[in-house]
Amino acid sequence: MIKRLCTLLLSLAVIWTVGAGTAQAEPGKRVHNAMQIVFSPSTPDSFCTIGAVGTDKYGHRIAISAGHCISDSTYADREIPDDIAPVYDRADIGFGPIGHVRYFKDPEGSQTGHVTKDYMVIELVPQVTLSSQGPYLKQTGEVKVPAGTASPNAPSPALDNERLLAPGDNELITSGQTGVWYGTIMDNEDGVYRSAATNMLGDSGGPAIWHVPGSDLPSPDNGFQVSGPWAGITKGFTLALPPFLYTSSANILADLRARDAATPHGVYGAGFEVTTDP
């Protein structure tokens, strides 16, 4: 059984923020996919990873990560409008918060099971700059599959970006602590992809893109730099083969749209689109 990456009591987050200070570095800090994030300056080794950066339909600047990075039943599966859950760049905690958690969903067993709603929404602060370019992956919009099977989270009719990649014929390219990897989607159970593309503890929430047929795969020839549409985020791994699980972007986007439709004033992240900024 895999240990949770981070147990966070959001009621203590205000104390953490004060302890870290409020001073900010120069504006323009770049936030991008594969950036490692922490939720308390005092626990830098309990970290997760950003999967995608962009904006929502309400104009919020948003980053997406994994919901299981936080565990607090008081705040789970609800909007968090107050700045009580800061998020820090693990490599630059002194900058102060790069954003605040606005929503997370952490169902029991989310890392090892096929739970479809394992994601987190972070609203980024105005002092940062959004970027589509991570250390290895450049994200070019979102996966759109007009004829694909709809995510189980999708309202009817499903949008193209709420449809799933078929197993056996599609590959994921992922980025994490050990570099960049790719592997065929061997299984798709309710929008959770199983692939040989490697991930490890701490990579949860990190980026996965779709290998568009005919485009480059990472290799020494291209410096392991590749591009493609956002396909999902790292979820975890199990004893099954291949062991690595990814929550599809279709599941996340569909659930955001469904929750937005059911909420009078809307939800953070609804209509999320990956930034086009370099």
Contacts of 45 (CB under 8 A, 6+ apart): none
Query: How far is the C-alpha of 33 from the C-alpha of 182, rounded, in Å?
Result: 16
Q: Which residue has the tokens 């693990």?
A: 90
Contacts of 167 (CB under 8 A, 6+ apart): 184, 185, 186, 187, 188, 193, 194
What residue segments make up the domains of the chain, in order of their start?
A: 10-130, 137-248
Q: Which residue has the tokens 């954003």?
A: 99
| pTM recorded for the entire structure | 0.89
Q: Is the dihedral of CA 134, 140, 142, 144 positive or negative?
A: negative
Q: What is the CATH number of domain 137-248?
A: 2.40.10
**Residues, the chain, total?**
278
Q: What is the pLDDT of residue 12?
A: 33
Question: pLDDT tens across 65-87, in order?
Answer: 999 999 888 899 999 999 999 99
Model confidence band, residue 107 (pLDDT cutoffs 50, 70, 90): low
Q: What is the pLDDT of residue 20?
A: 38
Pairing of strands 99-104, 207-210: unpaired
Q: What is the pLDDT of residue 10?
A: 39
Closest CA to 122 of 75, 166, 67, 170: 67
Assigned CATH class of 10-130: mainly beta
Query: How far is the C-alpha of 95 from the C-alpha of 21, rounded, in Å?
Result: 9
Q: What is the pLDDT of residue 113?
A: 52
Domains 10-130 and 137-248 are alike in CATH topology:
yes
Question: pLDDT tens across 240-265, in order?
Answer: 899 999 999 999 999 999 999 999 99
Q: Which residue has the tokens 């009621």?
A: 11
Q: What average pLDDT is seen over the chain?
A: 89
Contacts of 5 (CB under 8 A, 6+ apart): 46, 47, 48, 66, 68, 69, 201, 202, 204
Q: Is the dihedral of CA 173, 174, 175, 176 positive or negative?
A: negative
| Residue 245 near residue 110, CB atoms below 8 Å | no
| Residue 173: pLDDT over 70 | yes
| Residue 128: pLDDT over 50 | yes
